[in-house]
Amino acid sequence: MKAAYQYAATTLKTTCALCLTLFKLMIPIIVAIKLLEQFGLIQSLSNLLSPAMQWLGLPGAMGLVWATTMLTNLYGGLVVYASLAADYPLTVAQVTVLCFIMLTAHTLPVEAGVARKAGVSLWFTLLLRIGMALAGGIILAFIYHHFELAQKPAQLLWTAEPLQPGWIAWLLSQLSSLLWIFFIVLALVILLDLLQKTGITDAINRMLRPLLHLLGIGREAETITLIGITLGLSYGGTMLIHQARAGHIRPRDVLFSISLLGLSHSLIEDTLLMLLTGADLFGILLFRVALSLLVIFLLVRLLRSNNERFMTQYLVKPVTNT
């Protein structure tokens, strides 16, 4: 009984520490974005993105979808898309390209903030994610157009519930989300401990070691990287911060791991979510993961020619407990 109590106390303490790190970052950003929404910043950003939509073979109005997604989250972007779908019908290829850029660059204030908290340069994160979204989207649009693939009309399989107006409804929604995050982090802490004690962590590391070694990600970050890829950057990134502060993960491993997570994370939930738009699985999963791995592979090779001092000066800095 005493051992169970100590385990529960240690687990809750670790969970609270992780959530505190995450909430201290998320809450001010969530409030700031709500205020910016009230002043029409998202609409202004969508107007700037409208020309870029033409490069991707999309109607200019889809800029509003991406702007909302980048500043809020995928669900917010899908709400906007659902409201525009009738007036701007897309082919399967077009909606796949739209979903690809949404998946690659979304929730940037929070997720880029997590990366910055882990020591990775804010501007590097934004450039990497937005740059890959645009470049990858152009390549994907070219593939679909050149080979005349997925040209039938997309069928929207999901109708989003309209966002409730008012600050009270918004506040209750955010509190519910934060509570869910606490329980998810708690489950992840228990899962990580279970994986370590049963030896599954070592087995996973052995399977991933060749690929992650090729990408330049050290052994200490392997399991956490896998969690981020499957469940989300906020969870994996927060655990990376925790381990980096403890001195268990090198800054260069944090850089490569966070970069990979930024480009491909939450592969299960987010992919299933985007399939509801009628998107093609090839574009939103296979192409995205393959391109992400290629980009990180090239990034590692590019940085290999530079010394550690260059990397820590411009791209990633060691994190502290402050």
Distances in whole angstroms, Cα of residue 206 to Cα of each of 68, 212, 223, 229, 282: 40, 10, 10, 17, 28
DSSP state of 148: T
159-183 pLDDT per residue, tens:
555 555 677 877 887 788 788 878 8
Token reading at 195: 């994986």
Predicted pLDDT at 322: 52
Q: Using the structure block, give the residue that is written with the tokens 């390209």.
A: 97
Q: Where are the domains of the chain?
A: 2-314
Predicted pLDDT at 312: 81
258-315 pLDDT per residue, tens:
999 999 988 877 888 888 899 999 999 999 999 999 999 898 888 876 667 788 888 9
129-138 pLDDT per residue, tens:
999 999 999 9
Predicted pLDDT at 136: 98
| CA dist., res. 277 & res. 158, Å (int) | 7
Widest pairwise Cα distance in the chain: 66
Percent of the chain with pLDDT over 90: 31
Q: Which amino acid is at 143?
A: I
Residue 299 near residue 217 (C-beta atoms within 8 A): no
State the pLDDT confidence band at 29, using cuts at 50, 70 and 90. low
Mean pLDDT of 204-208: 67
Distances in whole angstroms, Cα of residue 170 to Cα of each of 46, 65, 174, 177: 22, 20, 6, 11
What b/e sequence results for 126-145 when a residue is b if at least 16 CB atoms lie within 10 Å of its CB, and e otherwise?
Answer: bebbbebbbebbbebbebbb
Phi, psi of 40 (to 5 degrees): 75, 20
| CA dist., res. 121 & res. 316, Å (int) | 6
Predicted pLDDT at 313: 83
DSSP state of 91: B
Number of other residues whose CB lies within 10 A of the CB of residue 107: 24
Classify burial at 81, counting beta carbons within 10 Å of its beta carbon; exposed 0-12, middle 13-18, buried 19 or more: buried
| CA dist., res. 37 & res. 73, Å (int) | 13
**Long-range CB contact pairs, 266-272, < 8 A, 24+:** 266/229, 266/230, 266/231, 266/232, 266/233, 267/229, 267/230, 268/230, 268/231, 269/231, 269/232, 270/74, 270/103, 271/103
| CA dist., res. 259 & res. 43, Å (int) | 28
222-232 pLDDT per residue, tens:
777 877 787 67
**Interacting residues of 67 by C-beta distance below 8 A, sequence separation 6+:** 42, 43, 45, 46, 49
| CA dist., res. 201 & res. 185, Å (int) | 18
Predicted pLDDT at 162: 56
CA angle 215, 230, 203 (to 5 degrees): 65
Distances in whole angstroms, Cα of residue 214 to Cα of each of 170, 211, 267, 317: 44, 5, 21, 23
Q: Which of 68-72, 147-151, 165-169 has the lowest mean pLDDT?
A: 165-169
Distances in whole angstroms, Cα of residue 164 to Cα of each of 34, 69, 169, 170, 171: 13, 18, 6, 7, 11
236-260 pLDDT per residue, tens:
677 777 777 777 788 888 899 899 9
Predicted pLDDT at 83: 73
| CA dist., res. 63 & res. 77, Å (int) | 10
